[in-house]
Amino acid sequence: MKASVSAGVAGLLFALGLGLAGMTDPDKVLGFLDVAGAWDPSLAFVMGGALAVHAVARRFILRRKAPVLAASFPVLGKMQVDGRLVSGATLFGVGWGLAGYCPGPALTALGSGTRSALLFGVALWAGMGLFSLWERARQAAAARATVPVETLRARGG
């Protein structure tokens, strides 16, 4: 319960930060990405401000043995750069450059209730859902592929 309240507060703060920063205005985002046109560099300051605060804060936070409301801090997963990372980031970048919304601002813009925000939001959730279905199908296929030969024979396969 407490964990949901703190996550909700963090989400609210995040949205207000995005709004103040200018990230919720697709025109501004596209202006930042338009390096060959009338480039608007202001959004570089968003990342600068966020990085400065977070890089310092996390150093202090990680001195604790555990988070306040959870058993442990996250364990980092993959460390190596792979094809999935690069192709995923590329697909994301193309979509970002087409519409001017990345996931945080898109979910925040749902609160504005405008038609373009709702349409993008539905497609965003659909894209994430499609990925989850694809990933599950792949994992199921991989699990089938590693079934011992004896089991397959017993099944008549």
Partner 1 sequence: MVHPFVASLLGGALIGLSAALLLLLNGRIAGISGIAGGLFFPARGEAGWRLAFVGGLVAGGVLLAAFAPGVFGRGAVVSPALLVVAGLLVGFGTRLGNGCTSGHGVCGLARGSTRSLVATLTFMAAGALTVFVVRHVLGGVQ
62-81 residues in contact with partner 1 (CB under 8 A) are 64, 66-74, 76-81
Using the minimum distance from each CB to partner 1, give the nearer residue, 61 or 147: 61
Give the single-character DSSP code of 43.
H
Least gap, CB of 39 to partner 1 (angstroms): 10
Using the minimum distance from each CB to partner 1, give the nearer residue, 76 or 149: 76
Cα(109)–Cα(24) distance, rounded to whole angstroms? Answer: 7
Cα(38)–Cα(16) distance, rounded to whole angstroms? Answer: 27
In which element (H, E) is residue 47 found?
Answer: helix 43-61
- Using CB under 8 A, which residues numbered 104 to 123 contact partner 1? 104, 106-117, 119-123
Cα(23)–Cα(86) distance, rounded to whole angstroms? Answer: 23
Cα(147)–Cα(129) distance, rounded to whole angstroms? Answer: 27
- 3-state class of 156 per DSSP? coil
Using the minimum distance from each CB to partner 1, give the nearer residue, 39 or 144: 39
- 3-state class of 67 per DSSP? coil
Using the minimum distance from each CB to partner 1, give the nearer residue, 48 or 152: 48
Distances (CA, A) of 119 to 6, 114, 141: 29, 9, 33
- Using CB under 8 A, which residues numbered 128 to 147 contact partner 1? 128-133, 135-136
Using the minimum distance from each CB to partner 1, give the nearer residue, 115 or 153: 115
Least gap, CB of 5 to partner 1 (angstroms): 7
- Using CB under 8 A, which residues numbered 5 to 64 contact partner 1? 5-28, 30, 33-37, 40, 42-55, 57-58, 61, 64
94 binds partner 1 (CB under 8 A): yes
